[in-house]
Structure 1
Amino acid sequence: MSKKKVVSIEDRIPKLKQARKKKANRRLIVYLSIFFLLLSVIVYLQSPLSHVHTIQVTGNLALSDKEIVKKSGLTTDANIWMVNQTEIKNELTKNPMIASVLVNKKLPWTVEITVEEFKRVGYIKKNGFFYPILGNSKVLTTLKSDTGSGDAPLLIDFSDKTILNKMTKELKQLPQNIRNLISEIHWKPKDSNESKIVLYMSDGYIVDGTIRNFAEKMKVYPSIVAQLEPGSKGIIHIGVGVYFESFEDRTNNGKSKKTETQN
């Protein structure tokens, strides 16, 4: 029979002490690491390293970067971890020109504000001043100017608010390149058609139409003009039917000739 080696308690005690010491050292290292990590975080949060260094604004056209940053309440003294994105959105969307806001934090110290503005779809003139109208039918009475900027048509005689709302909604749906061709829009209501409008275009033509489905009908305007002879002037009708009525070509009974167009 083999004899089992017997280890005395005296031999085991040093090894147990050494194992306990290693375990205690490892625990101490873990505690010290956590302590210094927390200390570093506290120092970082209290130092300028955690402050917002850059505020980027994108998507704005009518409003300046400075206006948006000021309205947001965000400053470079703010701690980036304390930036409340919801509060910034709520503050900025109080501005009638802003449709939506997106706020993103880009570590280590950048905040990006992306705004979508309501488009200026027209102007109205009151007491000698021009006021922009947004796609949500809001008239910006705080942004008056002595002259129209030419980036949107002038709306004339739109005394009825409901009619004005309908017109601005149609203009909002109209492509920018076509909207830029419109100089003036006159509301000319009749007993048979309360929504009748007359447009004066920058290329010299007059458009006779109606507010109902105006955006859809006006989309064919460039193709209509392309079918006309160069230099011809007259009225383009986009109501029930689409046709051109020349100012120059008249019949003996004094009525204008009508030229049918394809759309």
Structure 2
Amino acid sequence: MERIPQVKPVRRRKANRRALVFLALFFLSLATFLFVRSPYSKIHAVHVTGTHLLSPGEVIRQSGLVPGHTLILFSADRVRERLARLPEVKETAVAWRWPNEVEIAVTERAVLAYVVQNGQHVPLLEGGVLLFHRAGKGPYVDLPLVTRWEEPRRLPQLAAGLTKLPAAVRERLSEIQLVPTAAYPDRVRLYTREGFVVYTSLAHLADKLAALPQLLDDRLRENPQERGVFYLFDAMWYEGTAKTADE
């Protein structure tokens, strides 16, 4: 005689599982509801680090994060996208810190020089970005001034060369001018803080100027009173009598 399968225990197990799922969803919904109604669901504070050109307030306004707003819709990727629209920003790191604080670490583009336009000093950033809205607002004592530059399209090339130079080299420069010739349409004239003049090209800027501190120091040791001209092209030479006029 065949045995009839028992189905009641199977149905009971399925019912128990459905009840457990229902209870789990209920408590999850209740926890979500309580969290949303609690102070911990709201942004308590936004902390900003790494700013120099920008103020923390400017970063927070651009981020869209406002203390008191809900954390439920917080998205680090969305905040980074918003901050990337600021020309001063190179990259950012955004993180939520338990229980209800947000940290934004900003890496700004370096200020390489100040371009003198209409009597104002416009910051030139790496990447060739000009910050016209910050003209005259920054300290430009330790950065070179670009005082004669008739071809704005070559500013990104200048920025690229300056970016590759160590800060110790850039700090020795006081002024940069574009003085093209038929042979070198990208020729530049640079003045050092010690009073020397340097001629090179934008194409040679990064590799030739890397040796400039050593060249200056050697010349100052040999003759502390002399201020001459360095020519740093495919060939490199020095003339003891300073020339400031175009050749």
TM-score (norm 2): 0.80
**Structure-to-structure mapping, 1:108-127, within 5 angstroms:** 108-127=99-118
The amino acid that maps onto 1:219 is A
Which gives a bigger RCO, structure 1 or 2 (Cα 8 Å, sep 6+)?
2
The amino acid that maps onto 1:184 is E
Equivalent residue number for residue 99 of structure 1: 90
1:222 and 1:41, CA in 2 relative to 1: closer, same or farther beyond 3 A?
Answer: same
Equivalent residue number for residue 61 of structure 1: 52
The amino acid that maps onto 2:60 is V
The Cα of 1:32 is off from its aligned counterpart by 6.8
Equivalent residue number for residue 239 of structure 1: 233
More displaced, 33-42 or 204-213?
Answer: 33-42
Equivalent-residue separation in structure 2 for 1:236 and 1:40 (angstroms): 73
The Cα of 1:80 is off from its aligned counterpart by 2.5
RMSD: 2.7
Equivalent-residue separation in structure 2 for 1:37 and 1:208 (angstroms): 71
Question: Unaligned 5+ residue runs, structure 1?
Answer: 1-23, 249-263
**Which runs of structure 1 show a deviation greater than 6 angstroms over 4 or more consecutive aligned residues?**
27-34
The Cα of 1:127 is off from its aligned counterpart by 1.7
1:245 and 1:30, CA in 2 relative to 1: closer, same or farther beyond 3 A?
Answer: same
SS of aligned partner of 2:30:
helix
In the alignment, is residue 213 of structure 1 matched against residue 207 of structure 2? Answer: no
**Structure-to-structure mapping, 1:12-161, within 5 angstroms:** 35-36=26-27, 38-145=29-136, 149-161=140-152
Q: Which has the larger radius of gyration?
A: 1
In the alignment, is residue 183 of structure 1 matched against residue 174 of structure 2? Answer: yes
Equivalent residue number for residue 8 of structure 2: none
Equivalent-residue separation in structure 1 for 2:180 and 2:114 (angstroms): 20
In the alignment, is residue 192 of structure 1 matched against residue 179 of structure 2? Answer: no
User: Is the 2:172–2:213 contact (alpha carbons within 8 Å) kept by the matching residues of 1?
Assistant: no
SS of aligned partner of 2:240:
strand
Equivalent-residue separation in structure 1 for 2:138 and 2:191 (angstroms): 18
Equivalent residue number for residue 218 of structure 2: 227
Question: Unaligned 5+ residue runs, structure 2?
Answer: 1-15, 243-247
The amino acid that maps onto 2:241 is F
Alignment coverage as a number of residue pairs: 226
The Cα of 1:189 is off from its aligned counterpart by 0.6
More displaced, 117-126 or 238-247?
Answer: 238-247
Equivalent-residue separation in structure 1 for 2:216 and 2:139 (angstroms): 26
User: Is the 1:80–1:105 contact (alpha carbons within 8 Å) kept by the matching residues of 2?
Assistant: no
